Amino acid sequence: MSSAKAKMREKKMRNQPASVQYPSCSQVENGGRGEDHHVSEGGQSDALPSSKRQRTPSDRSGWVRGHQKDGGGYAREMPKYITGGAFARARAAEVNAMLKAVTKTTGSSQVFASLPRHMRRRAMSHNTKRLPRRLRDLANRMREKSLQAGPKKKKEPAKGKSRKARRRHGNLLLEFNRRQRKNIWLETHIWHAKRFHMVKKWGYCLGERPTDKCYRPCYRAMSSHCLLQDLSYYCCIELKGEEDELLAALSQLTCKEAGPTFAAAVSLSGGRQGSVTVYRAGQYPSQPLGPVSYLWRPRTPGETHRQLWIWAHPTLKQDLLPELQSVCRCSEAVAPPVEPEVSNPEADHVTVAEPKPGNKGKPGAKRKRSCKDAGEPPPKKIVGDGTRLPSTPVTWKSSSTGIVINDLTMEILRYRLIGPQSHSVLAETLEAATVCDGSMKEQEPLLWWPQHCKDQSNMDLLQQQTDVFNLLKGVCSTGELPPGTVLGLTVDDPRLTLPKRKVKAVPSVNQSQEADEEKRSELKLRGVPQACWDSLLWEQSVRDNVTDNKISEKDLNCMRSELLVPGSRLSPTPPQGRVPILLVHQPGKQVGDELNSWGAGWDLLLPKGWGMAFWIPLVYRGVRVAGLHMSLKHSQNKAAPHFPHDYPDCPAGARFQEEQEAELLDRFKRRPPAKRANYIKHGCLAPFRCPWQQLAEEWELLMREEGAEGKGDEQSAAKTDVVTEEVASQQNTAPTYRPSCFYILRNRRSLRLLSGWCRPTTSKGQRPCRGAAEAPPLTPAAVTSFCSAHRMSLVWVRLTLLSKGKPEPHAMVCAPTAEDLKLFGKKLLSSGPQEPPHKDHLKCRIKSKKKSSKEAATSLPPSDEREVSDITPASDPNPSKDPHSSSGLVLGVWPDPLPSVTSHCSRVTLGWVTQGDFSLSVGCGEALGFVSISGLLDTLLKQPVEHRGKLLLRNPSSLHYRWVKLNIDV
């Protein structure tokens, strides 16, 4: 008997009468019931109930339950007589003991544990009034007891300062700075952390979604008002150099076939933001890196020196930066202190007093010192990147090309406003900078604005920009403006015009005059005039000056308190309160025919340090704030691929897929086995990931077999086709990579061709696309040539459900059979075909393994047995116990070498869905995903014309196929 058991037993025995003796549990029956046994001799009537009584639940541990096999000691000890008084006393003591045992609760159990489940309420132990009245006294007593006992125990680990001390400003800052060491905080972090579920992703702390329920409000904001997001985690990389050199270097990363490149005339002038998919140098079409958006600084007249900002997702940056360095031959890292333009020294300048705790490694010592040493300046807030070592180079120079690469991560903030009213929010929040009057004394020569004001040409420019900006107030919808327009501006500190309470920004159309109307239509037609593109945000020195000289909230409030009329606007505007900004228009949905320019908006670029100063005024204009979740939904509604989710051929996308699979599998394994979906029975091979590579390979093999069957002559005939020539010319771009790795088709021409093929030519409502006449018809010859050009490629498709149903991620896209299509014509849409349930052959394997493992480890307690079968060896803490599960079997999921993914089910699989949901903008289920080109064309070719582009979709946990319409938007 263990010591704990003995203790327990001792506790039990305390209340027992002396006359009743319990033996230790090994010889219970004979000794303990000695007195009973003589009774059983005396009369059966007494013996039976008493022995029953012994078995009532009141008897606890130490007793052997149930009938004993050896029959007990009935025969051994038979007293000759019983004394009435002694017997009664003994019984009375027993009854007492039992009553006591029934009424007394054991130490660990709570009062509400005695309640049935449906009567239990949340937080009962906290608030005893939630209990039924009869139990309240007891609960109160127990609560008091636990309160007495609790604090002593809990106090011990809590050490050091009181809450008050911890919340003191300096200490709080230190604590915040410590927490920023691993993951970068955005400037709006504290604001977000109070309202959002935060996740640590890509080295940042980001808001995933608000804690309140606001999925639909956020959607409504996106489609009718304005939704705000902090995209400051996007990394900006600055390239400086001669225009020719830059273009020559960057042209290796892109290809004209996939759309506009860095050299596109519109964006090269600096008037538009461009976006492009970047590839590894010279590797198009394989080995893409990911999408970036870029912005050229407008030319200064008579100079060929240009400045370019490339905005990339943080996961993309780690791939992109080395590639850029190699392309530009920028291998020489410039040590931060040497180069005055480098961002980091200036970051140090801001945080100079705060000796970056992360880099020194002794935060404890630091804190003490800063507390003791009053002379030392107080800790400063980290502005910018707190995780980077100050010695890490952020600038690279090339001696041969003269290009300078600057890593401006966290130097420039980016806020995204999505929605048709985002320009009115901006127009209401921001006010063009007021000019400094000449009477301003020269007491602050450091400030840039008074200096800047002296030059009349600058003032003219500002006036021009202000005029354009004021025009925005009269524009009704953001989608009316030319996509990608850039507007530079200098604005006043928006904190000065903060409204008293939240207001909703609306466009002011009625007050617009005729003259403005003319200008406005000019703006819509031609975009922002060229002079207004430039902003001082491009200047490193101005940015730093603005960041350093920001008025703190406290000083601002002091100045406000000295105003004569409380609540009036501070005037004149303090000279520090001018900020250069850049407004970049974001085009909305540009592909497809429906919902044009849905989700258009503006990006607001700010110098660092000013984050909260702009955030709060924006929020006060009635915008809704969303997190990462909504940005995914935004791109889903736009039918645009979202990085890194929908870029499986990019390294970042592949990494994301692995992470996602691990997470989903983990979540799956946390469910009890009986409650899990058996994906094997559903015929779903890969419920947590999409094996694109296998899919592409299998389809390639299938097509080759088909081609070998007897189309040799046809292929040769196809070669002469004009279309074929066109397509085949693209074939020679990168033949070496084709067999090795799948890639996603981004060639615009091919996509357009494919898009034309996918839509039915006769169906009503589908107007033929422009240039449909010149597009070649879908013939076997054209298909073969197309396939041979893009053998291992996938294509991004949008699938709209024709009936009900909500597609889920990783749902299968399948090709319908001829019978299905026939039925489709006859029956109502709602009923698609069913997949016959599959058999789980692996189940018995798992079971037998379970059995064998049970035999192997009989000593295991029964509760552990269940887990043994679930644990894969990868996560198995003690694999020695379970040597048989070598293949990592999880019940209901196929083990790793998957069988053929295409022909596993009754319908041939073409691809998978990466994003799927009920689309609020369309009003039905909509899915986005990839399908294999060879498979798709093969299917299309077999389908009759009126049903062309109709496919089947099946969720991983369902057997029901749903009809979908395939669209390829270009």
Partner 1 sequence: MTEPRNPGMSAIPQNNPTQTETSAQAVEMDPVEYTLRKRLPRKLPKRRNDVYVNMKTDFRAQLARCQKLLEGGGHREICVHGLGLAINRAINIALQLQASSQGALQLAANTSTVELIDDLEPEDPDEAGEPMTRTRNNSAIHIKVFYPVPQ
Of the candidates 154, 129, 128, the residue with the CA atom closest to the CA atom of residue 139: 128
Q: Which residue's CB is nearer to partner 1, number 144 or number 244?
A: 244
Asked if residues 101 and 53 have their Cβ atoms less than 8 Å apart, the reply is no
Q: Which is nearer to partner 1, 591 or 857 (CB)?
A: 591
List beta partners, residue 578. Answer: 492
Q: Does 526 bind partner 1 (CB under 8 A)?
A: yes
Select the span of 266-274, 450-458, 489-497, 635-643 touching partner 1 (CB under 8 A): 266-274
CB of 666 to partner 1, least distance (A): 43
C-beta separation of 453 from 459 below 8 A: yes
Q: Please answer whether residues 396 and 330 qualify as being in contact, where contact means their C-beta atoms are separated by less than 8 angstroms.
A: yes
Q: Kindly state the helix (H) or strand (E) to which residue 361 belongs, with its residue range.
A: none
Query: Which of the ranges 8-16, 391-399, 507-515, 813-821 carries the binding residues for partner 1, by CB under 8 A?
Result: 507-515
Enter the tokens of residue 848.
């037998």
Q: Give me the torsion for CA of 916, 918, 922, 924, rounded to 10°.
A: 110
Main-chain phi, psi angles of 72, to 5 degrees: 70, -175
User: Minimal CA–CA distance to 395: which of 380, 414, 411?
Assistant: 411
- Build a one-symbol-per-residue string for 937-966: x at contacts with partner 1 by CB under 8 A, - elsewhere: ------------------------------
Rounded to a whole number of angstroms, the minimum distance from the CB of residue 800 to partner 1 is 13
Q: How far apart are CA 273 and CA 266, in angstroms?
A: 8
Instruction: Find the DSSP H helices in 673-767.
Output: 692-710, 712-720, 722-729, 748-758
x/- letters, 26..65, toward partner 1 (CB under 8 A): ----------------------------------------
Pick from 783, 707, 708, 797: which is nearest to 745 by CA?
A: 797
Strands 227-230 and 624-625: parallel
Distances (CA, A) of 687 to 184, 479, 691: 33, 39, 10
Measured from the CB atom, the residue of 436 and 481 that comes closer to partner 1 is 481
For partner 1, which residue of 568, 720, 732, 878 counts as binding (CB under 8 A)? 732
- The contact mask relative to partner 1 for 733-772 (x = CB under 8 A, - = no) is x--------------x---------------------x--
**Residue 524: CB minimum distance to partner 1, A:** 6
Q: By CB under 8 A, what part of segment 879-918 binds partner 1?
A: none
Q: Does residue 328 bind partner 1 (CB under 8 A)?
A: no
Provide, rounded to whole angstroms, the least separation between the CB of residue 267 and partner 1: 8
Cβ distance to partner 1 smaller for residue 244 or 864 = 244
Q: Which is nearer to partner 1, 591 or 959 (CB)?
A: 591
Q: Which stretch binds partner 1 (CB under 8 A): 49-57, 384-392, 501-509, 546-554?
A: 501-509
Can you tell me which of 265, 565, 674, 722 binds partner 1, judged by CB under 8 A? 265
**Order of strands across the sheet with 184-185?**
184-185, 204-210, 196-201
Q: Does 241 bind partner 1 (CB under 8 A)?
A: no
What value, to the nearest 5°, has the Cα angle with vertex 2 and ends 65 and 149? 100
Work out which of 596, 716, 766, 830 binds partner 1, going by CB under 8 A. 596
- Which residues, other chains included, contact 952 with Cβ-Cβ below 8 Å and sequence gap of 6+? 813, 814, 815, 816, 820, 832, 833, 907, 961, 962, 963, 964
For partner 1, the closer CB: 177 or 465: 465
Q: Does 570 bind partner 1 (CB under 8 A)?
A: no
CB of 486 vs partner 1, minimal distance in Å: 13
Binding to partner 1 by CB under 8 A, coded x per residue (else -) over 245-264, reads --xx--x--xxxx-xxx-xx
Q: What is the longest distance spanned by two Cα atoms in the chain?
A: 127
Q: At CA 873, angle to CA 867 and CA 875, rounded to 5? A: 75
User: Which residue type sits at 270?
Assistant: G
Neighbours of 916 (CB within 10 A): 24
- Residue 118 within binding range of partner 1, rule CB under 8 A: no
Of 127 and 508, which CB lies nearer to partner 1 in the complex structure? 508
Report the DSSP pairing between strands 924-932 and 412-418.
unpaired
What count of residues does the chain have? 970
**Angle at the Cα of 230 from the Cα atoms of 486 and 421, rounded to 5 degrees:** 55
CB of 433 to partner 1, least distance (A): 27
Least distance to partner 1 from the beta carbon of 256, Å?
Answer: 5
Is cis: bond before 285, omega within 30 of 0?
Answer: yes
- Site residues for partner 1, 277-306, by CB under 8 A, read 284, 299
- b vs e for 52-86, b when ≥16 Cβ sit within 10 Å of the residue's Cβ? eebeeeebeebeeeeeeeeebbeeeeeeeeeeeee
Among 14-22, 244-252, 308-316, 786-794, which window interacts with partner 1 (CB under 8 A)?
A: 244-252
Choice from 110, 171, 477, 715 touching partner 1 (CB under 8 A): 477
Number of other CB atoms surrounding residue 739 within 10 Å: 10
**Window of 189-197, 334-342, 486-494, 724-732 that interacts with partner 1 by CB under 8 A:** 724-732
Q: Which is nearer to partner 1, 480 or 876 (CB)?
A: 480
Per CB under 8 A, which region of 23-31, 145-153, 473-481, 844-852 contacts partner 1? Answer: 473-481
- Round to whole Å and give the CA distance between 758 and 943: 11
Closest CA to 290 of 239, 243, 235, 365: 235
In angstroms, give the least distance from the CB of 248 to partner 1. 6
* Binding of residue 476 to partner 1 (CB under 8 A): yes
Query: Closer to partner 1 at the Cβ: 524 or 676?
Result: 524
Among the listed residues 38, 53, 201, 524, the single contact to partner 1 using CB under 8 A: 524
Selected from 144, 332, 518, 594, the binder of partner 1 by CB under 8 A is 594
Q: How many residues at the interface with partner 1, by CB under 8 A?
A: 48
Q: Where are the beta strands (DSSP E) in 243-328?
A: 274-279, 288-296, 305-312
Question: How far apart (Å, rounded) are the C-alpha atoms in residues 811 and 824?
Answer: 21
Q: What is the Cα–Cα distance from 335 to 947, expressed in whole angstroms?
A: 64
145 vs 746: CA distance, rounded Å: 70
Determine, following the binding rule CB under 8 A, whether residue 592 of this chain makes contact with partner 1: no
- Give min distance, CB of 736 to partner 1, in A: 15
Nearest to 472 by CA among 426, 403, 411, 531: 426
State the minimum distance, in angstroms, from the CB of residue 264 to partner 1: 4
Query: Is residue 530 involved in binding partner 1 (CB under 8 A)?
Result: yes
Examine residue 113 and tell whether it contacts partner 1 (CB under 8 A): no
Please tell me whether residue 509 binds partner 1 under the rule CB under 8 A: yes
Using the CB atoms, write b or e for 628-664: b if 16+ within 10 Å. Answer: bbbbebbbbbbbbbbbbbbbbbbbbbeebbeebbeee
For partner 1, which residue of 241, 507, 687, 832 counts as binding (CB under 8 A)?
507
The dihedral formed by the CA atoms of 805, 809, 815 and 817, expressed in degrees to the nearest 10: -40
Looking at residues 822 to 881 of the shown chain, list those that interact with partner 1 (rule: CB under 8 A): none
Task: Give the residue from 387, 353, 400 showing the smallest Cα distance to 235.
Answer: 387
Told to check if 590 binds partner 1 by CB under 8 A, we report: yes
Which window, 93-101, 531-539, 590-598, 798-806, contacts partner 1 (CB under 8 A)? 590-598
Tokens of 183: 């993951």
Stretch of 88-96, 201-209, 340-348, 502-510 contacting partner 1, by CB under 8 A: 502-510
**Nearer CB in complex with partner 1: 106/508:** 508
Closest to partner 1 by CB, 435 vs 591, is: 591
Q: Which of 692, 746, 700 is nearest to 912 (CA)?
A: 692
Nearer to partner 1, 124 or 320 (CB): 320
Binding residues for partner 1, per CB under 8 A? Answer: 243-244, 247-248, 251, 254-257, 259-261, 263-266, 268-269, 271, 284, 299, 420, 476-477, 479-480, 482-483, 506-507, 509-510, 521, 524-527, 530, 590, 594, 596-597, 729-730, 732-733, 748, 770
